[in-house]
Structure 1
Amino acid sequence: MKEKFYICVVNQLNYDVIITGARCAGASLAILLGKLGYKVLLLDRSQFPSNTTSTHIVGEIDIYKELGVFEQLQESGAPSLHRMRIDLDGTFFESDIIVTQRALGLRRTEFDYILLQKAASFSNVTVKQNHKVNKVLKDNEGKTIGVEVKSKNSVSKQYGTIIVGADGRNSTIASQVHSPYIYESEMMRAGIYGYFKDVNPLTHPCVEWYFNQGDIIFCTPTNDDLHTILVMPHPDHYRNMKQNVKATLLNSIMKNKNLRLRLENASLIDGVKGIGPLKMFIRHSFGSGWALVGDAGAWVHPVSGTGMDDAVLSAKELSIAIDLYFKGIKSWEDALHDYQTKRDQIINIQINRALSTLQRADQPLSAEKQAWLKLICTFPSIVYDLGNKGSDVLDFLHFKNQDDLKMLVSLEKRKIIHEMRRNHP
């Protein structure tokens, strides 16, 4: 048996910021700090392009333009999705999406790599792949001052003014700085997904959502002419999932006749990926010399569908806080407190939506309620009346986000009026 030897290197360079984790949160933060002129070291244990367990929806636009990657995302091969299609136990609802101009169902192999390449394009950003952080380094007063990093043939010590953990839900940085939990949920549903080729496409590609006999299914077309199908099985179905994950995925899909027909000639590639039941959480996001971003600081169940965007938006807020600190405009405590407040605003919205959605799905529609729903959708006049009294219906349902919805409806009305004027000058 060969004995392994490692060269120990003490790095004499001092970085402004060391970021551990080079996926969407870490790479985005490196881009933003690179644009501001800071010296950044971006580390990741993986070699890119590589996959990771994740949602696949990108809905934001402005932040990716700011990052300078919008065009690359648009040209990635994932079709732009402008419509939302909801299947409630066999009854369809479909419409244009009004919360964003478009969504993309992009695989992480492409998404993360696009961001990483952009970060590496800055001369003041050093990217090191296949570098795993083993340990957080602290001074005699307990302040975080660097990290010990293991690569293939060496162990090095890297020093920086600020150490950022962007290293995922099981963050080494969060663990070693003993970041406390601000919030933890109960155990949430498992989620499993696979990539399918030769799926019969819809005429107009959509973000597809299925309430499916207690299960929740996402289906989105992605790059390389594939479809991503994510199944979040009802808790009662999890026992079967533990025995055969692939069978659980396929059985859930095949229970839905509309989706089953689309997969008549399809095949699963690259195996099945996913997570078991986990708790959502929010961690305290900063301390002496360190900060957390992305899933390292807060993790929301994939039913929200916004994890990638939330990580990037949080990275933007952290870059602002770090810049204010370095410029002496705010103290570290004040700057990072503001970051945490804004981060929590982003995350708490998604946690509440995830909890609300999962609570609904835990109680599938009865056969009688499904029959009433089909009856409503059978008669065009009833559907018309439903649309005509949409605001009253939402009031009756005690919809909690009325103000947000009214704003969206107002924006949609303006868009429709603009289209009418353009087509009929």
Structure 2
Amino acid sequence: MPFFLFGVDMFDVAIVGARCAGATTAMLLARHGYRVLMLERAEFPRDTLSTLLIHLRGMELLARWGLLKDVLATGCPPLTELSFSAPGIRVEGSVPAEGDARMVCAPRRYALDEVLARAAVRAGAEFRPGVSVTGLHREDGAVAGVTCRAAGGRMTVERARLVIGADGRHSTVARLVGAPYTRWDGRLTRAWYTYWSGVEGASLRLFLGAGLGGAAIPTHDGLTLINVQLPVGHPTGERAERDRLYLDLLARASPELRDAVAAGARREDRLYCCGDLPNFFRRPYGEGWALVGDAVLHKDPMGAQGIADSFEQAALLGTCLGDALGDRERSAAALGRYAAALESRFAAPYEENLLHARLAESEQVMAGLRAVQDDPRFREAFLRTLSGATEKQNEVPRMA
């Protein structure tokens, strides 16, 4: 039986996971005056699987939090132009404004997550990287902390009034509390991507074609992430065949990008093949615990909404908690408001993302896209939707 040392301090909040959801939640709660412990099993800086894009609503939150300049200072290029292409259709234009944000960007996660973790520490959070959470500490039947193991094997119990799981779609916290799925829509696509140098153009390019989808997303160091989304039932071949298959899929889905790659681009990384991309909601809270980010809501990356979603959820949780921690009844009521806010804000976008992830090219879908291409009113609204703007939600032709 392992020997656990009890931490001498009582934290208001222990957050498991220090990437987009965890670090922003820690920062906001620490800024509110709470004593926050942030635990992360990885050592930073550390990359992770991601399509990188931060939508406009996420950029606006970074600006509001005073972090947008820090993110851009990492060398991530601002993306002010975008395009969408499908067979016989092309829509392009400038990224619209959202508050103080006038661009989107796609920082490598080793850079973004470091910026966010440092912001949490500046706000007063205690950060412990290289620590794995192995269990939960309970008092009077409620979650009251975590048991964890440091890199050297030292086991400790850290007590906290609230434990927040920000540890991804395979959340340890969700598993330990038994948080049920309140909705499960399975896996719809696979994401295959890699990084290229020498791809001309500094715009965000999205595409749909041949039952496939994807994007070309400029990022750090002159590289462009080129992603192809394929239906989960599409043949994937043997591992040794996938490099060739990726190029074949890209050629079918986007002849424009095929030509851009063929014109002298060079692949700079291995091919990442991600198939574990379920769509779900989990129950977001219980006695002494809450979930945020991919731990509570995971969507197919076809819409590349995960980072902006995490930022919004962190803001919602912080706003709902307010100064309620420390009072059991008020905390429960605050977490109930958080659950209601999640449903209100994310249920409809979740449904819309499911539609996009089905990669449909029905006549109704194509007719809607042609209307977007031909009508300036629809085109402006469509560009706002692609950019992830949240205000001025003009009507876009229905494509279901």
CA separation of 1:405/1:247 partners in 2, compared to 1, >3 Å: closer, same or farther?
same
C-alpha displacement at 1:75, in angstroms? 2.3
Query: Number of residue pairs matched?
Result: 378
C-alpha displacement at 1:279, in angstroms? 2.6
Partner of 1:152: 151
Partner of 2:357: 358
Q: 8 Å contact 2:16–2:40 — kept in the other structure?
A: yes
User: Which of these residues, 246, 249, 252, is aligned with residue 246 of structure 2?
Assistant: 249
Partner of 1:57: 53
C-alpha displacement at 1:270, in angstroms? 2.9
Measure the CA separation in 2 of the matches of 1:55 and 1:48. Answer: 19
Q: 8 Å contact 2:147–2:155 — kept in the other structure?
A: yes
Larger radius of gyration: 1
Match for 1:28: what amino acid? T
**Residue 98 of structure 1: SS of its match in structure 2?**
coil
Measure the CA separation in 1 of the matches of 2:78 and 2:391. Answer: 25
CA separation of 1:260/1:405 partners in 2, compared to 1, >3 Å: closer, same or farther?
same
Q: 8 Å contact 2:30–2:120 — kept in the other structure?
A: yes
Measure the CA separation in 2 of the matches of 1:235 and 1:172. Answer: 26
User: Which of these residues, 84, 87, 91, is aligned with residue 86 of structure 1?
Assistant: 84
Measure the CA separation in 2 of the matches of 1:149 and 1:89. Answer: 52
Return 5+ residue gaps in structure 2 as ranges. Answer: 382-388, 396-400
**Residue 150 of structure 1: SS of its match in structure 2?**
strand
Q: 8 Å contact 2:191–2:229 — kept in the other structure?
A: yes
Q: 8 Å contact 2:186–2:280 — kept in the other structure?
A: no
Partner of 2:93: 95
Q: 8 Å contact 1:304–1:353 — kept in the other structure?
A: no
Partner of 1:72: 70
Measure the CA separation in 1 of the matches of 2:120 and 2:77. Answer: 25
Corresponding position: 1:339 with 2:335? no
Partner of 1:117: 118
C-alpha displacement at 1:183, in angstroms? 0.9
Partner of 1:3: none
Partner of 1:219: 216
Q: 8 Å contact 1:28–1:67 — kept in the other structure?
A: no
**Residue 324 of structure 1: SS of its match in structure 2?**
coil
Q: 8 Å contact 2:211–2:361 — kept in the other structure?
A: yes
RMSD: 3.1
CA separation of 1:321/1:329 partners in 2, compared to 1, >3 Å: closer, same or farther?
farther
Measure the CA separation in 1 of the matches of 2:213 and 2:157. Answer: 46
C-alpha displacement at 1:15, in angstroms? 0.6
Q: 8 Å contact 1:182–1:283 — kept in the other structure?
A: yes
Q: More displaced, 180-189 or 54-63? A: 54-63
Measure the CA separation in 2 of the matches of 1:322 and 1:117. Answer: 23
C-alpha displacement at 1:267, in angstroms? 2.2
TM-score for the superposition, normalised by structure 2:
0.85
Query: Percent same amino acid at aligned positions?
Result: 23
Measure the CA separation in 2 of the matches of 1:74 and 1:54. Answer: 18
**Residue 227 of structure 2: SS of its match in structure 1?**
strand
Partner of 1:137: 137
**Residue 16 of structure 1: SS of its match in structure 2?**
strand
CA separation of 1:329/1:206 partners in 2, compared to 1, >3 Å: closer, same or farther?
farther
C-alpha displacement at 1:87, in angstroms? 1.4
Partner of 1:324: 323
Q: 8 Å contact 1:29–1:315 — kept in the other structure?
A: yes
User: Which of these residues, 43, 47, 51, is aligned with residue 39 of structure 2?
Assistant: 43
Partner of 1:104: 105
- CA distances 1:57-86 after superposition (whole Å, capped 9, x unpaired): 112333213332111122232222222211
Corresponding position: 1:198 with 2:194? no
C-alpha displacement at 1:295, in angstroms? 0.5
User: Which of these residues, 371, 375, 379, is aligned with residue 387 of structure 1?
Assistant: 375
Measure the CA separation in 2 of the matches of 1:126 and 1:232. Answer: 38
Return 5+ residue gaps in structure 1 as ranges. Answer: 1-5, 378-382, 395-403, 411-425
C-alpha displacement at 1:55, in angstroms? 2.6
C-alpha displacement at 1:317, in angstroms? 1.0
Q: 8 Å contact 1:15–1:40 — kept in the other structure?
A: yes
Q: 8 Å contact 1:16–1:162 — kept in the other structure?
A: yes
Partner of 1:399: none
Q: 8 Å contact 2:162–2:289 — kept in the other structure?
A: yes
Match for 1:37: what amino acid? G
Partner of 2:13: 17
Q: 8 Å contact 2:41–2:130 — kept in the other structure?
A: yes
**Residue 103 of structure 1: SS of its match in structure 2?**
coil
Partner of 1:315: 314
Corresponding position: 1:180 with 2:180? yes
TM-score for the superposition, normalised by structure 1:
0.81
Partner of 2:385: none
Q: How does 1:239-278 map to 2 (within 5 A)?
A: 239-240=236-237, 244-255=241-252, 256-264=254-262, 265-276=264-275, 278=277
Q: More displaced, 255-264 or 108-117? A: 255-264
